[in-house]
Amino acid sequence: MSRNDPYPSVDAVVERYHADAAYLVQMLREIQETRGWIAPPVVTELARTLGLSRARVEGVAAFYSFLHLRPVGAYRVLFSDNVTDRMQGSEALLAYLSEKLWVEKGKLSEDGLLSIDTTSCTGLCDQGPGLLVNGRAIPRASRERLDVIAALILDRQPLDQWPAELFAVEDNIRRADLLLGNRLAPGEAIRAAILRGRGGQTEAAANERSWREANPAAALGPAATLEEIKRANLRGRGGAGFGTGVKWEACRNAPGEMHCVVCNADEGEPGTFKDRVLLNRHADLVCEGMTVCAYVIGGGGATRGFIYLRGEYRHLLEPLEAVLARRRAAGLLGRDICGEPGFDFDIEIHVGAGAYVCGEESALIESLEGKRGIPRSRPPYPVTHGYLGQPTVVNNVETFCAAALVAVHGGEWYRAVGTAKSAGTKLLSVSGDCERPGIYEYPFGVTVRQVLEDCGAGVGKRATQAVQVSGPSGTLIDASEFDRRIAFEDLPSAGAFMVFDETRDMFDVARNFVHFFAHESCGFCTPCRVGTAMMRNMVDKIHGGRGTQRDIDEMCQLSKAMHMAAHCGLGHTACNPMQDVMKRFRPAIQRRLRRLEFAPAFDLDAALAVGRRMTGRDDAGAHLETEA
Amino acid sequence: MAEGRIRVATASLAGCFGCHMSLLDIDERLFELLEKIEFDRTPLTDIKHCGPCDIGIIEGGCCNAENVEVLREFRRNCKILVALGACAVTGGLPAQRNHLDLGACLSEVYLTEPGLVNGQIPNDPELPLPLDQVHPLHEVVKVDYFVPGCPPSADAIWKILADLVAGRTPRLGHGQIQYD
Amino acid sequence: MNESDLPSFLLDGEEIPFTPGQTVIQAALTAGHYIPHLCYHPEFVPHGSCKVCTVKANGRPAAACTLPAQAGLAVESDTDELNDLRRTLVQMLFAEGNHFCPSCEKSGNCMLQALGYDLGVMTAGFRHFFPDRPVDASHPDILLDFNRCIFCKLCVRASEEVDGKGVFSLTGRGIMRHLIVSAESGRLADTDIALTDKALEVCPVGVILRKHVGFAVPIGRRRYDERPISAQALDDAPRMMEPKHG
């Protein structure tokens, strides 16, 4: 690097991470935070100091949407492009700002000052449209607020001098139940777990012994808390609903040099924002759950903890670091936690860089290891071969919170809430056409109709026509299904609950989701890489008024291939939105078809435009009729 | 259909006539074939426009306005449309220009190429206007059957024709399907 | 070990013995049963990205190359449903890249092409993407034609694991996925690739080509002119297999 380089040296960043290549994504992110982008010599230097091939480092950097290998503007404005943002007018606002600042969407302004583009859902659906400016979240975009932002940009005001009010993100908790209403003190769940391990003996009595050589007469130790987690019938809140107790037990039983606890805070499913609120409001509870997990699975060996925080939630990094520091000072993280000799555990935060696929647990682990976020082939599963090949539990933010509650109150208490197959409560991120968007916590088994009533959907003349439960990879239901229940046995949900009133075009909704999947496919496997892009082209063809029945047939053929052969859940579910619309709102597609049999995907006459311009011709032979 | 014979039309669009040459390579089997078929528009008959036909066979992809007109005429008139050869099936060699900007291309060839004096882009209305990209046939009209190959072998063409004439779904076995 | 002592699974109703640690495709090929595949290479740890080898194991779809063989597993492979799927996948690959076989030196020795022949693929069917992927002709002896890349990662792995160089890497996401080389200039000439590298041998399609070779073998005598890929793959399969690299 040149000696005139005004930025912290690459070496300094590498050194801070002990030249451990597993931190590559973090190093790239930090370097970019000071320099704006990652220049080719920086890539070369990083590769050299880490002993990696240059192509490997470049390959990682170019995988993540928020890492830039080309010069970018001093200000990078990204408009969240979830369907709920669009419903709140994001497209018109993007056009407004582009016009105001004389810049074309997706391009760098001529003076190199700024760029404006779209990004996948930023998790501000209840207070959208959402923006990211240089990675910092700004809710409630409006013409007035964009005027302020435009002036700040033109004044070249550094972001840390922008009015704090711009960045104020609300929690919007509308209904609290046992999780959001908890009053646990920091450390309470950990102490409860330790105490339960001693068979309820007082702390003083058992203080002599290490927790991992618990008194054989009590014969409990960490297994006692594991039993409670299993008794609670706690299931993962990330969507798949795998039994948390079974997962912890498998990890606990797996041999390894260390055991890892990973909190999946890569909340990328469009329409989901409950983890943002949990991390903002209940960060201690999240850490409690992770620490209890470490206690249960640690088996007396080394443990490590990670929170994988999605890049869009970068604004939560400093507050979370402060929580971790406070917990360390209070003896709730670090060595001999809660005075238990040998109970060592700490938590590091990894910030993602814009890749939805990293929400898949094995892709998340790859990213934690400083690689591209590509889902692994399974088996083996992370519980036996996870982070750096070690046994690893990956759980959702909400799952860890629930686990902390179970550690304190016990499994029976927890399972008494909810339904027989779905114990406890579920946080829903409600957005879309309703009066009171925000976070709603309900016991499992709540009907869709109840949620709609509570959030003020369908008030006035506009009836609710559909709800997208659990985001684009979930299920779209219509009004005939509003008595269905949010529960693993009926409508499982990772938390998204997007409401659409009767004025919304459900084809447009699905098209937004199809674009999302095409943008977020990691590209590893053929069916998803090519299939999502083909689906995108087909819905655009239909949207452009050129669709035919044949396109619908081709989409079905693609859906089948993707569903059967894709490598991970992203590819399996990428066709759900179109399939759901075909099933429940078929006329929304059919009425857009040009004709039944065949139509080209493009305008043939328009394909002659360049030829006409270059030759100056406009005679009859220089045109092609559009066939009726 | 005169005398109950199957009416067949053929044309070469953005192709090299190699596929038609290969068609002629079916040699003496042509006589057998001619007992069952009769030709409408083909380069062999000099009929200018395709009338109602049973089978249309097209060589070459679509690279200009005239190609599109001919292809549409075939699609309107032929009950069965066959894409014959690599260019018809994939766009082929001509489609290798697809990543180039047509405007820049015409400009370089006719206007800015060193050594050109008073360059001009040909603009005679008699000349078909180029499309911005070359397309395989199935991107412009519905195509019923495809025969890859550059050119497809005479045996492959014979097999497809024999199947179509006999009313069988055309199929090629190993050694008959080739992409080059 | 005697074959009869080995555990076994069923492939299309036939018993396939396996040594623990083998995947379904490894055991099947060893036993002389072909399962169509593209990114799998007997000398490398299976990658599982092309998905052409998808089978149904106890009714559930899975890639045979990465699916561990298990005693008692009932695997279906040669069914209409699975061969339809494979055809669709091969069509998707042909539509994704720029595969102009007549002008490709690898023609006749290309696995993608041979697989298309075997599966009876007559057309890509879908609309072609016609991506813009400039070739890299910077190296005096080696040409890179990215138009044909199918992202099997074999060159990446061969260069890393066998050649110890890391000349190649895959990057980008979704349909923008692409192959890059390890040089600040982005040019192959500025890497330490050598003609003797394993990475040159493993490309199943026509991305990595030796210059000054051209169309060396006449049509009719090339690898897949003589025998279909299904027969060839069985010839290539080691009878008792241990992955060598990775």
| Neighboring chain C residues of B145 at a CB cutoff of 8 Å | 122
Q: What is the DSSP letter of A127?
A: G
3-state SS of A177-214 is CCCCCCCCCCCHHHHHHHHHHCCCCCHHHHCCCCHHHC
SS3 for C148?
helix
Q: For residue A269, is pLDDT > 80? A: yes
Q: Partners of A440 in the beta sheet?
A: A175, A428
Q: Which helix (H) or strand (E) holds A229?
A: helix A222-231
Domains and their CATH numbers in chain B: 2-98+131-166 (3.40.50.700)
What local confidence, expressed as pLDDT, does residue A4 receive? 59
Q: pLDDT-derived band of residue C70, with 50, 70 and 90 as boundaries?
A: very high
CB A502 within 8 A of CB A479: no
Number of cross-chain residue pairs from A and C with Cβ atoms under 8 Å apart: 134
Q: What is the mean pLDDT of residues A105-127?
A: 95
Chains that touch C (3 or more CB pairs under 8 A): A, B
Q: pLDDT-derived band of residue A215, with 50, 70 and 90 as boundaries?
A: very low
My answer on whether C124 and C218 are in the same domain is yes
My answer on whether C111 and C213 are in the same domain is yes
My answer on whether C70 and C164 are in the same domain is no
Architecture of domain A507-590: Up-down Bundle (1.20)
Q: Partners of A131 in the beta sheet?
A: A79, A138
What local confidence, expressed as pLDDT, does residue A212 receive? 44
Q: How far apart are CA A195 and CA A114, in angstroms?
A: 56
Q: For residue C239, is pLDDT > 60? A: no
CB contact under 8 A, A614 and B68: no
Contacts of A579 (CB under 8 A, 6+ apart): A559
Residue type (1 letter), A11: D
Q: For residue A628, is pLDDT > 90? A: no
Q: pLDDT tens digit string along A585-595?
A: 999 999 999 88
With respect to residue C29, please indicate whether it lies within any of the assigned structural domains: yes
Q: Which helix (H) or strand (E) holds A477?
A: strand A475-478
Q: How far apart are CA C15 and CA A254, in angstroms?
A: 32
Across A483-615, where does the E strand assignment appear? 496-501
Low-confidence ranges of chain B (pLDDT < 70): 1-3
Q: How far apart are CA C162 and CA C214, in angstroms?
A: 26
Q: Is the dihedral of CA A198, A200, A201, A207 positive or negative?
A: positive
Q: Is C124 on the interface with B (CB under 8 A)?
A: yes
CATH superfamily for domain A222-415: NADH-ubiquinone oxidoreductase 51kDa subunit (3.40.50.11540)
Predicted-complex ipTM score = 0.95
My answer on whether C112 and C213 are in the same domain is yes
CATH number at residue C64: 3.10.20.740
What value does the CA radius of gyration of chain A take, rounded to a whole number of Å?
26
Domain boundaries, chain A: 10-61, 75-160, 222-415, 425-504, 507-590
Q: What is the DSSP letter of B109?
A: I
My answer on whether C189 and C132 are in the same domain is yes
My answer on whether C213 and C127 are in the same domain is yes
Q: What is the mean pLDDT of residues A195-211?
A: 58
Q: For residue A136, is pLDDT > 60? A: yes
Residue C195 CA, chain-centre distance (Å), reads: 21
Q: Is A554 on the interface with C (CB under 8 A)?
A: yes
CB contact under 8 A, C117 and B138: no
CATH number at residue C204: 3.30.70.20
CB contact under 8 A, B123 and A615: yes
The alpha carbon of residue C101 is apart from the nearest alpha carbon of chain B, in Å, by 5
My answer on whether C160 and C53 are in the same domain is no
My answer on whether C204 and C115 are in the same domain is yes
- The owner of tokens 């005169």 is B2
Q: For residue C94, is pLDDT > 90? A: yes
| Neighboring chain C residues of A44 at a CB cutoff of 8 Å | 184
Residue type (1 letter), A587: P
3-state SS of A284-297 is HHHHHHHHHHHHHH
At the topology level, CATH places domain A75-160 in Glutaredoxin (3.40.30)
Q: For residue C246, is pLDDT > 50? A: no
Contacts of C190 (CB under 8 A, 6+ apart): C138, C183, C184
| Neighboring chain A residues of B106 at a CB cutoff of 8 Å | 610-611, 614-615
Q: For residue C241, is pLDDT > 50? A: no
Across A329-447, where does the E strand assignment appear? 347-351, 392-396, 425-432, 438-443
Q: For residue A206, is pLDDT > 90? A: no
Q: Which of A599, B127, B6, A126 is nearest to C127 (CA)?
A: A599
The mean pLDDT of chain A is 94
Range of the domain at C16: 3-78
Q: Which of C24, C114, C133 is nearest to C73 (CA)?
A: C24
Q: Is A56 on the interface with C (CB under 8 A)?
A: yes
In the sheet where C60-63 sits, what is the strand order? C14-17, C8-11, C74-76, C54-57, C60-63
Percentage of chain A with pLDDT > 90?
A: 91
Q: Tokens representing B30?
A: 């042509």
Q: For residue C245, is pLDDT > 90? A: no
SS3 for C184?
coil
What local confidence, expressed as pLDDT, does residue B2 receive? 46
CB A601 within 8 A of CB A609: no
Q: pLDDT-derived band of residue A53, with 50, 70 and 90 as boundaries?
A: very high
Q: Tokens representing A370?
A: 């400083």
Q: pLDDT-derived band of residue C112, with 50, 70 and 90 as boundaries?
A: very high
Q: pLDDT tens digit string along C147-179?
A: 999 999 999 999 999 999 999 999 999 999 999
Burial class (CB in 10 A: 0-12, 13-18, 19+), A420: exposed
My answer on whether C112 and C215 are in the same domain is yes
With respect to residue C26, please indicate whether it lies within any of the assigned structural domains: yes
My answer on whether C115 and C14 are in the same domain is no
Query: Pick from C78, C109, C142: which residue ends a domain?
Result: C78
Q: pLDDT-derived band of residue C242, with 50, 70 and 90 as boundaries?
A: very low
Q: pLDDT-derived band of residue A199, with 50, 70 and 90 as boundaries?
A: confident
Burial class (CB in 10 A: 0-12, 13-18, 19+), A37: middle
Q: Which helix (H) or strand (E) holds C74?
A: strand C74-76
A300-304, A537-541, A582-586, C74-78: which has the minimum mean pLDDT? Answer: A300-304
Q: How many domains does chain C divide into?
A: 2
A479-483, A489-493, B19-23, C4-8: which has the minimum mean pLDDT? Answer: C4-8
Q: For residue A2, is pLDDT > 60? A: no
Q: Which of C117, C123, C132 is opposite residue B174, by nearest beta carbon?
A: C117
CB A192 within 8 A of CB A185: no
My answer on whether C126 and C196 are in the same domain is yes
Architecture of domain A425-504: Roll (3.10)
Q: For residue A1, is pLDDT > 60? A: no
What local confidence, expressed as pLDDT, does residue A217 receive? 41
Q: Partners of C181 in the beta sheet?
A: C168
My answer on whether C50 and C165 are in the same domain is no
| Neighboring chain C residues of A62 at a CB cutoff of 8 Å | 171-172, 180
Residue A579 CB neighbour total at 10 angstroms: 17
Q: For residue A204, is pLDDT > 50? A: no
Q: For residue A49, is pLDDT > 80? A: yes
Q: For residue A218, is pLDDT > 60? A: no
What local confidence, expressed as pLDDT, does residue A239 receive? 84
CB A116 within 8 A of CB A103: yes
Q: pLDDT-derived band of residue A200, with 50, 70 and 90 as boundaries?
A: low
